[in-house]
Amino acid sequence: MSVEGKTVLVTGASRGIGRATAEAFLAAGARVALAARDEAAIAAIAEAHGDRAHAMACDVSDPASVDALYARIADAFGRLDVVFNNAGAAMFSTPVGDVGWEDWRRVLSVNLDGAFLIARGAFRMMREQQPQGGRIVNNGSISAHAPRPGSVAYTASKHAITGLTKSLSLDGRPYGIACGQIDIGNAATDMTAAMAKGVPQADGRLAVEPLMDVRHVADAVVHMAGLPLTANVQFMTLTATNMPYLGRG
């Protein structure tokens, strides 16, 4: 039940859930590859943690950029034990009929294409390294279960993450590769700041929604990653206690 000494990749590590989780892994003694498009932000995080943290700029939606990321991880660390497949893009409060193709592709290219490319690269590396195996934790969402109004692109992408998680879990069995998914509801980050002012509900109201400290999410991911490869948290749902999830709709 420890990640000390393990090599971990966190995507979307420049802010929000990704940054909090990367810092939690570092605090627990892991070696961390911080991946994001914002090179300055991840470099600042890495500088504070010495040679256990490496900033690696990457656009997860670009296959060549992802291939280069895994080459850098191999050079810097020699192996990969854990991936937190976290990078994401959002688009809310837009009815289906008003969603432009460019916006649809912007969200899907990061949330689904990017998640696949990161998972594929991790799978290849974990399958080939010795000792073989590793763990992939995908960031799903409450939207993998129930949509918010006007969230077709985000919801479709997060439903797809559940299928990705299940396929990875099945394909990874022969190689000691475990895959789980954490579905997060209302962690306090820049992305959820609007919830403190009021967001659309299914009945047409605007309502303030409670938030939880993002550190609880980070701790949960570190817990999932610390399990031996003989055990796996397949799906975890972690929410602010009073968020309108079970009553959504």
**Alpha-carbon gap, residue 205 to 144, rounded angstroms:** 22
Q: Which residues are catalytic?
A: 154
Question: Are residues 202 and 149 in contact, defined by beta-carbon separation less than 8 angstroms?
Answer: yes
Please give the C-alpha separations between residue 88 and each of 33, 71, 81, 102, 140, in angstroms, as whole numbers. Answer: 17, 22, 22, 16, 10
Q: For residue 230, with 0-12 CB atoms within 10 Å meaning exposed, 13-18 middle and 19 or more buried, which class applies?
A: exposed
CA angle at residue 69 from 10 to 224, to 5 degrees?
A: 25
Please give the C-alpha separations between residue 85 and each of 27, 42, 208, 233, in angstroms, as whole numbers. Answer: 19, 16, 29, 15
CA angle at residue 35 from 31 to 40, to 5 degrees?
A: 105
**Alpha-carbon gap, residue 65 to 71, rounded angstroms:** 10
In the chain, alpha helices (H): 16-27, 39-47, 63-77, 101-108, 115-128, 152-172, 214-226
Question: Are residues 192 and 184 in contact, defined by beta-carbon separation less than 8 angstroms?
Answer: no
Q: For residue 205, with 0-12 CB atoms within 10 Å meaning exposed, 13-18 middle and 19 or more buried, which class applies?
A: exposed
